[in-house]
Amino acid sequence: MLGGLCLAAGAFFTSTTGKHVLSTLRFAFGWYDIPAQQRQLQYVLKDILRQTGLDEQAYQRDHLQSQQRGRERWRLWRHRIAIPADLSLTAFEKRLRERMPDLPHDIMARRSRELDRQLSVAFTLGVANVPTDICIFTQIPSSPSVAAVVPKPEPLAPRAVLKRAPVTNASPQIAIVIDDMGWELPIAQDLLALDHPLSFAVLPQAPYQSKIAEAARQHKRELLLHLPMEPHGYPKVNPGPNALLGNMDSNQIVKLVRRALRSLPQVVGVNNHMGSSLTENPQVMRIVMRELKRRDLFFLDSRTSADSRAYQIARDMGIPTAKRHVFLDNNVQQAHISAQLHQLAQMASEQGHAIGIGHPYPETLHALKHTLPIILQAGVRIVPISRLVN
């Protein structure tokens, strides 16, 4: 009987990497023990730490959300490791890749990020094509310490900083753009469902870009193309596939920009993903801006470099543009993100408007839920990003 069941089940099996097979039937019968596989991954990560001489305090793990497929239940975990400046981020990544044959996991996605010259790389790992873990390696500016790796929550900015006032057309305005959308669907849906006109920057060719674009349309939220560009430190710092690079000729640049825009025809504007090097390159940025001007799109300079020329070039070419004022979650602590939101509102009260950029982190979602109502009560308006370009 059991043999017959196994033979009948064979029709449902689909080969993947050769290490394991994807089978909805196997999940239905709970044949995978994903929590055990996740413990194995945690052991490997800590072993890599020991091999590189890092203290276990450099490692943090937190639960993102509960998952279920058939009778199999597990938690999606995020593993964060702080890499000191004297240890290569690429070398640490290489160690993980060397250990992957020891694990039942596959690397399902890889992303790089650059915030204020702080570099990080994130991997989505899965068992049998099912996401189970997210590993984030971040380069820190000095050797690790308890204070640097696990920063104490910062106190929230006092509510009294902003005087309570009725909202009018002259009220200070803030726009919030959530970058790096397209890789994780549940957190994207939660952010889109917030009762605030946030804007969303979606990476081209990301696996969930179409679903997120449709959800944005239903929620009447503005979409931007989050266009990958060359950062300082390339190729060790990788902005992902189809990124614009400074050594490309004009035809290559135009081809990649047009391909990215075709993948997301709903966008109203563009901002840069990484790009600390490319946004300093006036020749390439003029090529990019010409393509945007042809389509009546605006450009938001994410300001990953203090020497970015992108904003001024867009203005010189008559393209509606704006630039980021505050990164909300360069420190992924809810209290810090809330404090950054208060800072954003304070800047808006002083100069009339301000633009913040965040990312699809659970901590960012919770900070937005709890802090934006306070900011609204203080008389600050939250507007789509298109309202603040000129």
Given a cut of 50, is residue 17 above it in pLDDT? no
A 10 A CB-CB count for 102 gives 12
- Look at 60 and 222; give whichever has higher pLDDT: 222
- Can you give the pLDDT at residue 317? 98
Rounded average pLDDT over 184-194: 91
- In the block, tokens 């990215």 appear at 260
- Look at 94 and 181; give whichever has higher pLDDT: 181
Q: Which two tokens stand for residue 342?
A: 């208060």
Q: Which two tokens stand for residue 296?
A: 């009546």
Rounded average pLDDT over 225-253: 91
- Look at 168 and 309; give whichever has higher pLDDT: 309
Task: Name the CATH superfamily for 159-388.
Answer: Glycoside hydrolase/deacetylase (3.20.20.370)
Binning pLDDT at 50, 70 and 90, where does residue 32 land? Answer: low
Given a cut of 80, is residue 18 above it in pLDDT? no
- Can you give the pLDDT at residue 14? 32
Rounded average pLDDT over 350-379: 94
Share above pLDDT 90 across residues of the chain, in percent, rounded to a whole number: 51
- Can you give the pLDDT at residue 142? 53
Rounded average pLDDT over 282-305: 97
Find the range with the poorest average confidence among 22-36, 42-56, 177-191, 289-303: 22-36
Tell if the pTM clears 0.75, that is, is over it. Answer: no
* Identity of the residue numbered 386: S
Helix/strand/coil (H/E/C) assignment for every residue in the chain: CHHHHHHHHHHHCEECCCCCEECHHHHHCCCCCHHHHHHHHHHHHHHHHHHCCCCHHHEEEEEEEEEEECCEEEEEEEEEEEECCCCCHHHHHHHHHHHHHHCCCEEEEEEEEEECCEEEEEEEEEECCEEEEEEEEEECCCCCCHHHHCCCCCCCCCHHHCCCCCCCCCCCEEEEEEEEECCCHHHHHHHHCCCCCCEEEECCCCCCHHHHHHHHHHHCCEEEEEEEECCCCCCCCCCCCCCECCCCCHHHHHHHHHHHHHHCCCCCEEEEEECCCHHHCHHHHHHHHHHHHHCCCEEEECCCCCCCCHHHHHHHCCCCEEECCEECCCCCCHHHHHHHHHHHHHHHHHHCEEEEEECCCHHHHHHHHHHHHHHHHCCCEECCHHHHCC
- Do residues 111 and 122 lie in contact, with contact meaning Cβ atoms separated by under 8 Å? yes
Find the range with the poorest average confidence among 77-81, 154-158, 166-170, 281-285: 154-158
- Look at 128 and 265; give whichever has higher pLDDT: 265
The pLDDT tens digits of the residues spanning 214-232 come to: 999 999 999 999 999 999 9
What are the domain boundaries of the chain?
Answer: 19-143, 159-388
The pLDDT tens digits of the residues spanning 256-289 come to: 999 999 999 999 999 999 999 999 999 999 999 9
CA distance 385 to 390: 11
Rounded average pLDDT over 103-121: 78
Given a cut of 60, is residue 9 above it in pLDDT? no
- β-pairing, 72-83 vs 106-115, is unpaired
Given a cut of 60, is residue 156 above it in pLDDT? no
Contacts (Cβ under 8 Å, ≥6 apart) of 378: 159, 162, 163, 164, 165, 345
Rounded average pLDDT over 120-140: 85
